[in-house]
Chain A
Amino acid sequence: MQTALARPLPTAADEAPPAAAAGHALWVRITHWMVSVSFLALVVSGWVILMCHPRLYWGEVGNDLTPALLELPISRNHRHGRWAAPVPFFERTGSPVSASRTGEIFNQNSWGRSLHFLAAWFLVLPGAAYLVAGVATGHFRRHLAPRAEEWTLRQFAQELKDHCRGAVRKAGGGPRYGLLQKSTYCGVVFLVLPLAVVTGLAMSPAITAAFPFLSGMFGGHQSARTLHFVASVLLVLFLIVHVVMVVASGFRRQLRAMTLGDSP
């Protein structure tokens, strides 16, 4: 990797398009793969956790005795119906009720949750290091932020059309991205991944006791859980498109660039 580690403070000249033939920096490659492995573990364990209670809600409260926003038919817990007759808590109409569960449900959250939080450390710590390094080295400013002159609707539409037609540039082996690519990476790095992390923290009883605004800003615990699900769906969609684009633009070359740091 040949990128200048120690850069002088930015000058107007830095705003010019980056010099060609720079591969992915070592720290980008390391954090990329750490986050990749962690993300796969998070998806698997997150899916197992969702299978245990495949109902999503809005607000603070949601359980089998309250209406759901969305019920996913992804495990035998979907509308399992193993509940004893409900008993009202208060002597008034519309009183909240208690009901006892009368059978076993699918629940693999013992390892599912522990794996999820272990993997989360490998997302959050490399992710934080990546954000710090991205700002400190100018990587975000030089490679991810769309330049003012390319940031037009026409350019965006053109690239979208090209991508849909499968007209993809061959891999350059480094961080020289198109507008659509830059916008997508910025969306994932600065919006969706942080949303996933913060909504995850907002579901922790210990963390929300200390920082109640974390769940409050999403409208409650169950809203945070639903948004956590939405964020993970967006990230999986991104992953699929990302892998398709890697294949389309030269799988071998891209893989070498992101592991060995090769650039042609």
Chain B
Amino acid sequence: MKTTPLITRRSALITGLASLGGLLLPGCSEPLPPTYGNILRMGDTLTYAAHRALLPGRSLAREYRPEDISSFPATGTTNPGDPANPKSSAEYRQLQQGAFADWRLQVEGLVERPGAYSLADLKRLPSRTQITRLTCEEGWTGIAQWTGVPLSRVLDAAGLRPSARFVCLYSYDDWADSIDLLDALHPQTLLAYGMNGRDLPVAHGAPVRLRVETQLGYKSMKYLRRVVVKDVFDDGGAQGNIQNGWSWYAGI
């Protein structure tokens, strides 16, 4: 007796792959970082598009109890004021000597009200304190309490223009990086000025560092000096992740 199959192998495969591909399509409406024809960057972009398409972007990262706070290595630049450091900055050293009273965070680009925020200005904005886990690309983790102003509050105060797509960040130790608006406006994304109940130590990025809880530690830039809102992707050139061989998106 000849029977008509309900599910053939071929139809199962085609339907399966087509639906997987379909799930990724919404991610393509966002501007994607360039791949430079590099197959590793294509993989990074696929992961980014898949995360943006499949994950609910507003989920909060887990927060911990005070007794979960752990020891915490300081890596990368640990003091831009130290002249022995290849990425040292005389300007930073001067600010450090003045206890960061003269430090200003420039906020510019596609905002209605560009400006410079002092540490006191940032502390006057509503603050958020969270105990979260930093996941380093190297493989280690640490839990600390961070206090700061949500980046979204600062961007609100500056007035984002509708064409804004990326928030670019620049540091005193000469790095450039950017995050998309979804991460920039995430409620746990902070401009952090406090760590474990005290001022942010120099080793961990004083006076203000970024905290992006949905990505690896290297996206949480230390020693912030400038925030620029852009409508196009900017890889940061030689100071950015990509040209140093790293994935721009570090949610995995």
Number of interface residues of B (CB under 8 A): 68
Q: Report chain A residues within 8 Å CB of B252.
A: 117, 203-207
User: Does A121 count as interface, using CB distance less than 8 angstroms?
Assistant: yes
Q: Report chain A residues within 8 Å CB of B197.
A: 90
Instruction: Assess the A209–B245 pair: CB atoms within 8 A.
Output: no
User: Whole-angstrom distance from the CB of B138 to the nearest CB of chain A?
Assistant: 5
User: Does B118 count as interface, using CB distance less than 8 angstroms?
Assistant: no
Number of interface residues of A (CB under 8 A): 61
Instruction: Assess the A62–B140 pair: CB atoms within 8 A.
Output: yes
User: Does A27 count as interface, using CB distance less than 8 angstroms?
Assistant: yes
- Within A7-61, the residues touching B (CB, 8 Å) are 7-9, 25, 27, 49-50, 52-53, 55, 60-61
- Among A96, A100, A113, the residue within 8 A (CB) of B78 is A100
How far is B133's CA from A221's CA once the two chains are assembled, in angstroms?
9
Known contacts being A101-B75, A205-B213, A205-B214, is A118 close to B139, with CB within 8 Å? Answer: no
**Contact stretch, chosen from A128-136, A145-153, A241-249:** A128-136
Instruction: Assess the A111–B245 pair: CB atoms within 8 A.
Output: yes
User: Does B29 count as interface, using CB distance less than 8 angstroms?
Assistant: no
Q: Report chain B residues within 8 Å CB of A87.
A: 201
- Among A89, A97, A111, A212, the residue within 8 A (CB) of B40 is A111
Instruction: Assess the B5–A50 pair: CB atoms within 8 A.
Output: no
Instruction: Assess the A117–B5 pair: CB atoms within 8 A.
Output: no
Instruction: Assess the B42–A113 pair: CB atoms within 8 A.
Output: no
- Within A70-125, the residues touching B (CB, 8 Å) are 83-84, 86-87, 89-90, 96-101, 105, 107, 109-111, 113-115, 117-118, 121, 125
User: Whole-angstrom distance from the CB of B30 to the nearest CB of chain A?
Assistant: 15
- Among A5, A61, A113, A207, the residue within 8 A (CB) of B55 is A207
User: Whole-angstrom distance from the CB of A80 to the nearest CB of chain B?
Assistant: 12
- Within A215-252, the residues touching B (CB, 8 Å) are 221-222, 225
- In terms of DSSP, what is the predominant structure of the interface of chain A? mixed
Q: Closest chain A residue to B40 by CB distance?
A: A114
Instruction: Assess the A208–B55 pair: CB atoms within 8 A.
Output: no
How far is B204's CA from A27's CA once the two chains are assembled, in angstroms?
52
How far is B215's CA from A9's CA once the two chains are assembled, in angstroms?
47
- Within B198-247, the residues touching A (CB, 8 Å) are 198, 201, 203-204, 213-216, 244-247
Instruction: Assess the B72–A27 pair: CB atoms within 8 A.
Output: no
Q: Show 8 residue pairs from A and B whose CB-CB distance is below 8 angstroms, ordered by the A residue.
A: A61-B133, A89-B144, A100-B78, A114-B246, A133-B9, A209-B60, A209-B213, A221-B135
B residues sitting closer than 8 Å to A (CB atoms) are: 1, 3-10, 12-13, 16-17, 20, 39-44, 46-47, 51, 55-56, 59-62, 64, 68-75, 78-79, 133, 135-144, 195-198, 201, 203-204, 213-216, 244-247, 251-252
